[in-house]
């Protein structure tokens, strides 16, 4: 909320004055009311590590919004649009001519040997040449206009339902703020998503393609979101066994017989999508669906194999993708990243390991990761040994001075570190809903915003101004 000089940043003035006149007792009541709303709506996520499988938990919700003004948002959204266009162009190239490799921008091995590269996608001309139709880009901020991309999520990014429910909850709890302030709406996301999916349909599907959302089922941690989006779009939420491949098409089983499906917004990982193409023990997927995809009779959204664009080992190359495919200078910066497979970069990492975050390129979450500044000398030394042995498996980044946002915690209102995941929809045009999902590290000083490790969420406001008739 505060700028580097300690003053309240302009977009936060309205929030500041609201907080100043609202006693903590009211904030407590509102926090409890928000929790009740989430629970009643069933906005929960399943956790696997609990004693009882499929137990449900709420992600903590912070009632103080995170605020961006229009100028900040416009800069950010231009950068997002540019970045996702480059990622899609890169994906098309990776699965066709591989000019990016030919031009010497990246080694062939980095692409072809990457598990996220799927030979099954080679040479397939997907509708509109789009691979990541729904992309979640994780953004952090270190200064007034310093936005960094921490990670791209080109596969099946989740969290958009929290963005929508958070806003809905805020409107219910604080209607007076919404009547006084001109906050850009987010509730048109489902319509934008629906249009994006329609535009992704195979040409032969006709003007009214049948769209479905494919979920792994109710034990999936994001099941609520799958159901929510299907409901909001008015399309069927299907599971693998609801779909069947017949005569070169995908059909769903309905009470009135088989119905052809044209676009599948799948929230199942590549590996489980088709037991005939990928993991043959998968019971979640649909046998033969990749063959139908290659026949051009169905569109899978996002495309299988899109993960090659968001892989940690590919991330350092994204600014170059923007230059190479778009001929533009990147608007959003990458966090400086050292690639340990390069000997010179590796020795820099080893020399400075105590100040760095070192990540396993194919790992996710906290596994195989070192946060130098919070580790002991021994831990750093031990990790350095592993990096020396398997340099190609690691990248390293400096620890960033992340921005904070005022958050209501047990001790009252206090600054906590935040990141932002805006959602970029690519179809005939690019659609970016103003805002996104703000995740907040609720523990003091923590940089970990992940919901599985004590992170919460906030509503994100893109503030267009103060309404004229409000006083």
Residues engaged in binding other proteins (CB under 8 A): 39-40, 42, 98, 108-109, 112-113, 118-124, 217-218, 224, 227-228, 230-231, 236-239, 241-242, 244-248, 252-256, 275-276, 280, 287-288, 291-292, 294-295
> Residue 208 or 247: which CB sits closer to other proteins?
247
Q: Find residue 436's DSSP bridge partners.
A: none
CB of 63 to other proteins, least distance (A): 22
Closer residue to other proteins, CB minimum distance, 62 or 274: 274
Pick from 416, 367, 363, 369: nearest CA to 397: 369
User: Considering the complex, what minimum distance in angstroms separates the CB of residue 3 from other proteins?
Assistant: 43
Q: What are phi and psi of 392, to 5 degrees?
A: -70, -10
Nearest to 295 by CA among 126, 106, 468, 112: 126
Contact between residue 327 and residue 315 where contact means Cβ atoms under 8 Å apart = no
CB of 22 to other proteins, least distance (A): 30
3-state secondary structure of 58: coil
Nearer to other proteins, 25 or 281 (CB): 281
**Cα distance between residue 138 and residue 153, in whole Å:** 8
Q: What whole-number distance in Å separates Cα of residue 306 and Cα of residue 424?
A: 15
Which ranges in 200-311 belong to alpha helices (H)?
A: 223-233, 289-294
Rounded to a whole number of angstroms, the minimum distance from the CB of residue 102 to other proteins is 10
Interatomic CA distance for residues 44 and 40, integer angstroms: 10
CB 238 within 8 A of CB 215: yes
Q: Which residues lie across from 460 on neighbouring strands?
A: 66
Whichever of 247 and 389 has its CB closer to other proteins, that residue is 247
Least Å distance, CB 227 to other proteins, is 5
Smallest gap from Cβ 35 to other proteins, in A, equals 13
d(CA 368, CA 111): 22
Count other Cβ atoms within 10 Å, centred on residue 9.
Answer: 18
> Please, which residue, 187 or 231, has the CB nearer to other proteins?
231
**For residues 39 and 467, which CB has a smaller minimum distance to other proteins in the complex?**
39
**To the nearest whole angstrom, how small is the minimum distance from the Cβ of residue 188 to other proteins?**
19
> Which CB atom, from 85 or from 110, has the smaller least distance to other proteins?
110
Q: Compute the distance between CA of residue 375 and CA of residue 228 in angstroms, rounded to an integer.
A: 41
- CA 5, CA 159: separation in Å to the nearest integer? 33
Nearer Cβ to other proteins (239/459):
239
Query: Minimum Å distance from CB 390 to other proteins?
Result: 16
């Amino acid at each position: 909320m505060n700028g580097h000089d300690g003053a309240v940043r302009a977009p936060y003035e309205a929030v500041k004055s609201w907080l100043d006149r609202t006693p903590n007792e009211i904030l407590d009541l509102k926090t409890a009311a928000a929790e009740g709303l989430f629970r009643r709506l069933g906005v929960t996520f399943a956790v696997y590590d609990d004693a009882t499988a499929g137990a449900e938990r709420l992600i903590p919700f912070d009632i103080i919004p995170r605020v961006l003004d229009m100028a900040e948002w416009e800069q950010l959204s231009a950068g997002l649009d540019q970045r996702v266009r480059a990622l899609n162009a890169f994906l098309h190239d990776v699965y066709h001519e591989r000019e990016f490799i030919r031009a010497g921008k990246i080694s062939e091995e980095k692409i072809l040997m990457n598990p996220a590269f799927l030979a099954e996608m080679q040479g397939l001309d997907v509708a509109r040449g789009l691979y990541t139709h729904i992309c979640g880009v994780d953004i952090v901020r270190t200064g007034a206009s310093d936005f960094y991309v921490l990670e791209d999520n080109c596969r099946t990014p989740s969290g958009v339902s929290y963005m929508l429910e958070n806003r809905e909850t805020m409107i219910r709890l604080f209607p007076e703020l919404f009547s006084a302030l001109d906050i850009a709406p987010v509730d048109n996301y489902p319509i934008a998503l629906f249009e994006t999916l329609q535009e992704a349909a195979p040409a032969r599907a006709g003007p009214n393609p049948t769209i479905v959302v494919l979920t792994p089922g109710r034990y999936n941690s994001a099941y609520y979101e799958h159901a929510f989006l299907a409901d909001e779009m008015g399309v069927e939420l299907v599971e693998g066994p609801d779909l069947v491949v017949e005569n070169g098409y995908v059909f769903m089983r309905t009470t009135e017989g088989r119905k052809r499906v044209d676009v599948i917004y799948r929230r199942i990982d590549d590996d489980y999508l088709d037991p005939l193409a990928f993991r043959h023990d998968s019971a979640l997927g649909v046998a033969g669906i990749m063959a139908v995809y290659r026949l051009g009779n169905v569109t899978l959204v996002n495309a299988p194999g899109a993960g090659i664009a968001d892989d940690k080992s590919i991330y350092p190359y994204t600014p170059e993708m923007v230059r190479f495919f778009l001929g533009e200078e990147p608007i959003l910066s990458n966090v400086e990243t050292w690639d340990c497979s390069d000997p010179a970069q590796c020795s820099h990492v080893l020399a400075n390991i105590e100040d760095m975050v070192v990540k396993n390129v194919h790992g996710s979450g906290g596994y195989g990761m070192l946060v130098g500044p919070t580790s002991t000398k021994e831990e750093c030394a031990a990790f350095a040994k592993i990096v020396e042995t398997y340099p190609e498996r690691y990248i390293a980044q400096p620890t960033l001075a992340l921005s904070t946002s005022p958050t209501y915690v047990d001790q009252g209102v206090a600054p906590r570190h935040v990141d932002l995941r805006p959602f970029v929809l690519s179809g005939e045009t690019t659609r970016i809903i103003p805002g996104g999902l703000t995740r907040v590290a609720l523990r003091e000083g923590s940089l970990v915003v992940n919901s599985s490790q004590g992170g919460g969420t906030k509503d994100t406001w893109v503030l267009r101004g103060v309404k004229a008739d409000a006083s």
